[in-house]
Structure 1
Amino acid sequence: MCISADTIVAQKVQERLKSLYQSNGSRSKEKLQQSDQGINNIIKFQTGHDDYQMKLKSLYKTSISQAEQEEDLLRQALQKIAEIRNIKNERRIQARNAGNKESIRRGTWMKMLLSSAQTLPLFVGKIDEKPPPLCGAIPADPGYVAKVGDMVAALVKIPDGDGENWILAEVFSYNHTTNKYEVDDILAEQNQKGRHTLSKKGVVPLPLMRANPETDPSALFAQGTVEFFFPVMALYPTTSCFYKGIVNKPPATHTDEYEILFEDATYPEGYSPPLYVAQRYVIAIKQKSKQT
């Protein structure tokens, strides 16, 4: 009996969903209840027994341990979710390599890109743990190589033109001998640009995690001004191209987007009104060609 690849993928996803429900669902609820009870015990003891320091210390230790157990369960759940995302992405890449091209309308692609940015994993570090490379505004390490299927900004030649432009693309392969990428324009069917072979300097990996402004504000691009600013490149809304701009307002919460002022000569000030761009599509690179 021959089992299709799609069936195998579905089975793997179901296995992890079942594990997620059985291992984390009821246990997480139980741990949360234990943590709440532990905190309530501390509050009651503090208000009723001022001189029982040893007992209070014991309650604190118990509450801390319960909170750590709850944290471990939540991190396990997030890991299962990440595995499910990876399984589905690997299947999509296999289908693409087998010649099964996706026929998706531009509007649908735009919604998918937005959803992908909104569901990008959020970095939740432990005490004193700093955000890693490719979290928010933190760039990749110099020797980093983006994986097959990863989203990147790619500097490609403009069709029927002399200039170049940064576009949103997906990594198809990387040649360690030539140090060159093969990337696919994310809207290849609509833009008819197809596949590009580029050097590493022409490819910038996009963030793999979102930064939380409330805990890791240093992992985000700071607000700038027209007179003095740190330039960024951001994906212009409803397009697949990156353009130069400045941060008018960084995200205030982990669900917020950047407010970007795009460099645009069609406006008297030289910049567009504030436009919203997700963390995943704001990076630090130079732009050679301007938006027209």
Structure 2
Amino acid sequence: MTSPYAIPPADSLRRDPLPLRGRTALVTGASRRQGIGYAVARRLAAYGASVYLHHHVPHDADQPWGADPDGPEAVAEGVRAVLADPAAAVHHGPGDLADPRGPARLVAAAAEALGGRIDILVANHALSGRDGTLDEIDAAMLDAHWAVDTRSVVLLVQAYARLRAGQSQGAPGGRVVMMTSGQDHGAGMPHEVAYALAKGALASATRTLATSLADLAVTVNTVNPGPVDTGYLDGEAYEEMARLFPAGRWGLPDDPARLIAWLATDEAGWVTGQVVDSEGGFRR
């Protein structure tokens, strides 16, 4: 019997330039070229994966920074530009994940576009705005953030797990990556109570979901990207925030994207049930 402590063969240590070749991925909240979802999708495509981009333009259009000026197809074209595997493809489609039926519909649409299989699920979407301090929040704010930031993610994972259970044996290792925020660090997020509660629930559920999906050979991890420059702040407030990073700059969308892409590869196959901070030493 081979010892579990055997030294890996030399071939297994050579780095594959396309570690996600032949894999498929669904990335939610990938609707703006300034956003984290777009950066994640580009990394996955550059690693060889086919990618389905989810977008909900009405949400973006309602924000101060607005929707991508050239629309979802321009976002998809930006991902297609870095496709590394000639056999890979990029698809996109809308989805209102506040609708309880939305997550299952999205997984079904993505699976159909990607040839019936989803290997990687990156739940990057979130509700922006409609929040406040403890004194300002109300039931509607709490419910809105719960529906989009927590409930929809769990329902996405549920639909993904059901799809995964029906896939043939020997399919590539499955990956789920969720997104949390900095609610568990420093003073928390006292001005975004509804968002902090909803995102904190995902961090707390990470290990439970990892155990639930272990029998399907799926790892589940959650990433806290810290403050990332996605175009929502400028002026003195922007500069003040930059000074809180040891490097003197904000996180960029590709900073967490590199971590998420690595978690999607076989190299991270022994990492599951973890909440990982990727915030450049941010000092709160």
Normalised by the length of structure 2, the TM-score is 0.23
Bigger strand fraction: 1
Kindly indicate whether structure 1 or structure 2 has the higher relative contact order, using CA contacts under 8 Å at least 6 residues apart.
2
Normalised by the length of structure 1, the TM-score is 0.22
Structure with higher Rg: it is 1
